Amino acid sequence: MTHGSRKPLREGDGGPYVRFQVRYCGRLGVPVGIFAACHHLRRAGRLTPADDRLFTEVDGWFIARLPYPPFYADGNTVRAVPWFKPGAAALIAALAPLEDLLRRYAVPYDIVRSPDPGTIIYEDEFQIGVLPYVRRPAEGAVNAPGGLSR
């Protein structure tokens, strides 16, 4: 599913695990997730003040509701990648404002589903953290919004 289209999330559409990601790779060797992509827009100075506040609000809402995987405590040196579980439908729906930001700032993204996105190293009620089976080298900074390196 690409750039803003959205179907109801169902198992069987490629798998039960869901990830919102843009079309450039970051330091983890996989496409950058929706939150990191919005952070890139912010660091590049591309967000309007209102959009910056919106991102802060949505990010804070998720911080208050989504468990913080322990692999982030050391800066994610294991290079784990989070995916939503099927039971996270309410959290997935709450990503709509971030999807809108990506659309409005012309950052193409995909909603990817997989039955097996990698080796699971973390799991909570809403998400899994995986070590992807395949990684690519990080792409040149020119591919990130505003020419940012990741």
d(Cα 147, Cα 150) in Å, to the nearest integer?
Answer: 10
Task: Read off the pTM.
Answer: 0.82
Q: Model confidence over 81-139: pLDDT tens digits?
A: 999 999 999 999 999 999 999 999 999 999 999 999 999 999 999 999 999 999 987 66
User: For residue 77, what are the contacts with CB-CB under 8 A and spacing of at least 6?
Assistant: 71
Q: What is the DSSP letter of 145?
A: G
**121 phi and psi angles, rounded to 5 deg:** -115, -5
